[in-house]
A = this chain, B = another copy of it.
Amino acid sequence: MVNGVLALEWQERIREQLKKDRKEAEELLQTWVREASVQGEEASIQKLIANKLVEMGLEVDEWVMEGDELLQHPYFVSPRTQFEGSPNVVGVWRGTGGGRSLILNGHVDVVPEGDRTQWSLDPFSGEIIDGKIYGRGATDMKGGNLSSLLAIQTLQRLGIRLQGDVIFQSVVEEESGGAGTLSTILRGYKADAALVPEPTNMKIFPKQQGSMWFRLYIKGRSAHGGTRYEGVSAIEKCVKVIAMIQQLEKERNDRLEDPLYAKLPIPIPINLGVIGGGKWPSSVADLVTLEGRMGVAPGEEMEDAKKEMKAAIDRLSEEDEWFSKHPIELEWYGARWVPGDVEMEHPLMETLISLYPAVVGAEAIIEASPWGTDGGLLTKLADTPAIVVGPGVTQVAHYSDEYIVLDDIFTCAELFALTLLEWCKNNGKN
C-alpha cells in the first residue's frame, strides 16, 4: 500500500480545502435538491451540472438518449422510449496519461415525492437544519454526486493533475432500471473501475444484489357469493401462491453462502408488494394479480433466477389440479437491475480499504447491497468493475422527509479524492 501512504500525505490539505469550500458546496447541493428532477424532469438539473463541469474545465458530453441500439438492447428497461427532457451528462477530467481511469457514476433522477402531507417541509425545500439537508433526492443520491464532484474539484484547487482519466457521470433513469448508464456504455464510456456513491452509510459494497419485477395472474371461477362453493376463489388460491413464493425465497437464501450476506436475515428477498383482484364483495373473485420484486444474487444469471421461479410455479401445478387446468401466468415486467460482483481482492477494493481508516476513523465495513444499482451494468457490460460506497442511508431513501447528513458528504469526498490520487496517480507533485 505504498501508493496509499503517499496519497495520505495529501489528506490534511484535502480536508482543509474541503472545509474552505464547504459553504459553496452546500449551496450547490441546495440548488440541486431544489430541482424536482423526477422522471422526465431532469433537463434543468443536468444543465446546472453540465455548466458546473464546463466551469471546472472538464470535457462535457450532454445527450438525449435515442435509437434502436439502446431501445432494442437486452438490458434496456424503462417505462418510456422517448427521453426528451432527460439528457445524460458526462464530464471527463482528462489525465496526463499513464494512470488508471475511474468512473464516478451517479443518477440525478429521483423517485416521486409521494404524499406531500407526509412531509414536514416542502419535498424539494433543500433546507438545512441541524447539519442535515432535507428534500427528495438528498440521500438518493444528489449528496453522493456532490461527493464525487468535490473529489475532483478539491484536487483541481490543490493544483493536482492526475495521470488517469476521471469520468464524472450524471445519469438519468436509474430509478427505473438503468437506461441512462446503459446509454453511457453504448456511447463508449468505460474505465478501469468505477465508484457509485449510492447511500450505503459509507459501507463498501463490492457486490450488489440485482432484482427484477414480476407479475403473477392467479385465476378463479366466478359465482355468486351466496353460493360461493359453485365457484373457485382466486383469493383463496392466491394463499397457496404466497406460500409457494415464501418457500422459493427460503430455498434460494438457504443455499446462499456468500459471507458478505451473513448478517442479513434474508439476503436476496422475494418481495410481494402489490395484490389486487375481485370486483364485487358478493361475487367470487375470478382473478387476482400479485406484483413483486425478486432479488438476484451477485454472480447469479438473471435468466437462471427466472427459470427457478417458473419451476416453482410448475411444481404448484403438479400439486394442485386447479392450477394445472388454469395455469398461473408469470410476467417479467417493469424495472430490472443487473447484479454486480467485484472480487474482494480487486485493487480498487484494496485502495479503498487501506485509505478508509484514516478518513473515517474506523475500519471499513464490507457488505453486499440488498438492492440493485447502475454498478451492475458497469461491471457486467462495460468491463468496469464498480464498487458502491457513499454517504446517505437507505432508511430515508424513497420516504418522506428524506435528508442526508452533510458531514458524511464531505467525508466521502475526502475518501474519493484520496482514492483518485491513489488510483489515477498524481502526476509529478509527489
Contacts and interface: CB of A to CB of B under 8 A. Distances in A.
A361 interface: no
B269 A273 contact: no
Nearest to A276: B276
Contacts of A293: 225-226, 281-282
A40 interface: no
A416 B277 CA distance: 42
A242 interface: yes
Interface string A386-419: 0000000010011000000000000000000000
A279 B274 contact: yes
Stoichiometry (number of copies): 2
Contact of A225 (B211, B246, B278, B397): B211
Contacts of A265: 229
Interface in A278-295: 278-285, 288, 290-293, 295
Interface stretch (A1-9, A66-74, A230-238): A230-238
A278 B281 contact: no
A224 interface: yes
Given A242-B235, A271-B284, A272-B235, A227 B370 contact: yes
Interface size, A (range): 35 or more
Nearest to A208: B226
A262 interface: no
Interface string A232-263: 01011011001100100000000000000000
B274 A281 contact: yes
A421 to B, nearest CB: 33
Contact of A288 (B246, B269, B275, B291): B275
Contact of A269 (B227, B285, B397): B227
A16 to B, nearest CB: 38
A293 B226 CA distance: 8
Given A211-B226, A281-B334, 19 more contacts: A211-B225, A224-B394, A225-B273, A226-B293, A226-B295, A226-B369, A226-B372, A227-B371, A228-B271, A229-B264, A233-B271, A236-B242, A271-B282, A271-B283, A273-B279, A273-B280, A274-B277, A275-B276, A275-B277
